[in-house]
Amino acid sequence: MNNKNIKFLATSAIITALYVTLTLVFGAFSFGIVNFRIASMLNHVIFINKKYAFAIILGCGIANSTSPLGLMDVLVGVSMNAIALGLTILITSKMSYLPAKLAVNTLTIAALMFMVALELVYAFHMPFLATYGTVALGQFVSVGIGAVLYQVVFGRTKLAEKLA
């Protein structure tokens, strides 16, 4: 294994661990109808290297295994993240303007929260539109804040190049 592969695996492990830790530390807001998941800010690391999507998806799966909804939340969360990140990578593949890419990622994640809303409707018999509105808004805000932080941290430094 060469240094590049070791660096990628180590960075992936850190991203996964950060996702899980942030989700669990802010657990009261990470699950349910609020769904203001601080860890979702990390979804933008796919713009450093699209292969980091696997670290985010794995982190989501591990974190969601602690959810009150258990396996159902693992399946829905992992599926939603995989679809959102896959679509974002596909849509932004020819884009070069970072703020536009970050906006696409933020909107894609918020839009696909209908999957989480359906899960909550099924599990808790909640009204779909209100549930979708709250979970989508929570994700839009958290991922949107992440987009701003991403630009500040990675857009103005050479850190992204070192992690790529």
Q: What is the pLDDT of residues 10-23, one digit of tens each?
A: 999 999 999 999 99
* pLDDT for res 32: 85
Describe the chain by its helix, strand, coil percentages, rounded to 5: 80, 0, 20
Write down the pLDDT at residue 159.
64
Q: What are phi and psi of 115, to 5 degrees?
A: -65, -45
- Among 105, 44, 4, smallest CA distance to 18 is for 44
Quick one: pLDDT band at residue 58, thresholds 50, 70, 90?
Answer: very high
Query: What's the token pair of residue 108?
Result: 């894609």
Residue 160 in this model has a pLDDT that exceeds 80: no
The ranges assigned to domains in the chain are: 3-163
Query: 40: burial class by Cβ within 10 Å (0-12, 13-18, 19+)?
Result: buried
Interval 59-109: pLDDT, tens: 999 999 999 999 999 999 999 999 999 999 999 999 999 999 999 999 999
pLDDT per position as a tens digit, 97-137: 999 999 999 999 999 999 999 999 999 999 999 999 999 99
CA distance 123 to 105: 27
pTM: 0.93
Report domain 3-163's class.
mainly alpha
pLDDT given at position 164 = 62
